[in-house]
Amino acid sequence: MKHIVVTGAAGFLGSHLVQSLIHQGHRVTGIDNLSTGILRNLEEVMVNPRFVFHQADVTQPDSLDILADQQVHEIYHLASPASPKFYQADSIGTIWVNTQGTYHMLELARKKEARFLYSSTSEAYGDPEIHPQPESYRGNVNTWGPRACYDEAKRLGEVFCYEYYTKQQVSVRVARIFNTYSSGLRNDDGRVISNFVTQALTGQDITVYGDGSQTRSFCYVDDNIRGLQALMAEDKAEGEIINIGNPTEYSILEVAYLVKQLTGSDSNIVFLPLPEDDPKVRRPVIDKAREILNWEPKIALEEGLGRMIQHYRTMLLQERVQVQE
Ligand code: NAD
Ligand code: UDP
């Protein structure tokens, strides 16, 4: 049994990861300041004696004092808002959690001699001029725009990892995560899949930004969590940056039609202005993950969406929101 620290534990990915680690028999300390995360995501594990939840902000140096006398084997640093709606609302906090927060977590890894995984993002590639994106692509990020607080902070977070790997011998690995979805995404999260599914189930207009020709590649959460755990476990992944995402690409308009079809919704599809700096295309090259981690995603968008729609239907009914049958 390992003792594993997960920051961002009450968030979408963090909570799925914690559940998986607890089911595997590990002891887990989850740290979260509940800025975008919700405790309901951790309901199932909260009663488990091998799970401890610590409400704290990882940018504060004393936030990790509770771990002072404890052995820590692995650290997954996932804390950071991920939805453009939330990271733009707290842009300075987003910069701090990915820079100062990453520094504090790397310091903890150094002191504890723990393995360290940083959740970076496909946004490190910005609005890419190379398509699809391999890890070797250095990106096209606008430093003077509303997405910079996230994209550039993540890139600097990667730099912290590089420095601690090369100068402090911390066993780091970096996941560049591409758009991931499933239950556990808040229905007011603002990301495209949670918006479309909520809108379709409640009969609201499905809001496509721009003409919907921009593309994304969507990974189901179970595949993502399996990828993160493989990245942590694999010795050969030390000091590597690896894309974790599903290489099947869809236009956003295709996704809107797919959600409408799978929910049987009579919602209208409407077109709203495209946000500034919205990347036009995004799709991972996953050769490195295949080679080093022997990992690739297994769940197609249709199947994952089907599962998510069922969960959302139940969640919305519990919240007494009227859902279309
Ligand atoms: P999320 O917003 O659901 O979860 C993030 C969690 O971090 C929340 O619970 C939030 O309360 C917590 N948090 C934020 N600032 C904190 C701080 N200062 N101290 C402690 N906790 C803090 O987002 P998510 O989708 O679960 O993303 C998790 C990680 O994965 C993020 O680092 C994100 O950048 C990265 N990522 C996610 C995706 C995706 O598609 N979900 C894609 C690329 C990268
Ligand atoms: N998007 C959309 N309607 C929505 C939410 C998002 O058309 O209600 C678009 C958005 O403009 C972007 C894509 O869907 O082109 C993915 O957006 P999301 O916020 O989920 O993630 P990101 O842009 O960070 O990949």
CB 109 within 8 A of CB 54: no
* Digit-coded pLDDT (tens) for 232-245: 999 999 999 999 99
Query: What Cα–Cα distance (Å) separates residue 117 from each residue in 4, 106, 233, 270, 311?
Result: 11, 9, 10, 40, 29
Considering just the CA atoms, what is the radius of gyration of the chain in Å? 19
Contact 172, 239 (CB under 8 A): yes
Pairing of strands 3-7, 27-32: parallel
Which numbered ligand comes closest to the C-alpha of 128?
2
Indicate the top mutation candidate among 85, 119, 123, 191 to test ligand 2's pocket, ranked by most ligand atoms within 8 A of CB.
191
The residue-averaged pLDDT of 54-60 equals 98
pLDDT interval class at 103 (50, 70, 90):
very high
The model's pTM is 0.98
Using the Cα atoms of residue 268, residue 309, residue 53 and residue 174 in order, give the sign of their dihedral.
negative
Instruction: Please provide residue 212's backbone torsions phi and psi, each rounded to the nearest 5 degrees.
Output: 80, 10
Ligand 2 atom index nearest CA of 206? 8
User: Any residues with CB less than 8 A from the CB of 315 and at least 6 apart, and which?
Assistant: 183, 187
Q: What is the pLDDT of residues 256-307, one digit of tens each?
A: 999 999 999 999 999 999 999 999 999 999 999 999 999 999 999 999 999 9
Query: How is residue 214 written in tokens?
Result: 């921009």
Q: With contact defined as beta carbons under 8 Å apart, do 259 and 196 qualify?
A: yes
Between 318 and 10, the higher pLDDT residue: 10
pLDDT over threshold 90, residue 251: yes
Closest CA relative to residue 161, chosen from 148, 174, 151: 174
Task: Give the ipTM.
Answer: 0.99
CA 128–ligand 1 middle distance (angstroms): 23
Ligand index nearest the alpha carbon of residue 82: 1
Percent of all residues in the chain with a pLDDT value above 70, rounded to a whole number: 100
Q: How many CB atoms lie within 10 A of CB 132?
A: 19
Q: Looking at residues 32-60, what average pLDDT do you find?
A: 97
Report which protein residue has its CA nearest ligand 2's atom 23: 278
Active site residues: 150
Residues 4 and 225: beta-carbon distance below 8 Å: no
Q: Is the peptide bond before 275 cis (omega within 30 degrees of 0)?
A: no
Pocket of ligand 1 (CB under 6 A): 7-8, 10-14, 31-37, 57-59, 78-82, 97, 101, 119, 121, 177, 179-180
The full DSSP string for 36-88 is: S--GGGGHHHHT-TTEEEEE--TTSGGGGGGGTTS---EEEE--S--SHHHHH
The sheet carrying 241-244 orders its strands as 51-55, 27-32, 3-7, 74-77, 115-121, 172-177, 241-244
Q: Strand, coil or helix: what is 126? A: strand
Across 71-81, average pLDDT: 98
CA of 14 from ligand 1 middle (Å) equals: 7
Residue pLDDT, tens place only, 154-195: 999 999 999 999 999 999 999 999 999 998 898 899 999 999
List of E strands, the chain: 3-7, 27-32, 51-55, 74-77, 115-121, 172-177, 180-181, 206-209, 215-217, 219-220, 241-244, 249-251, 269-272
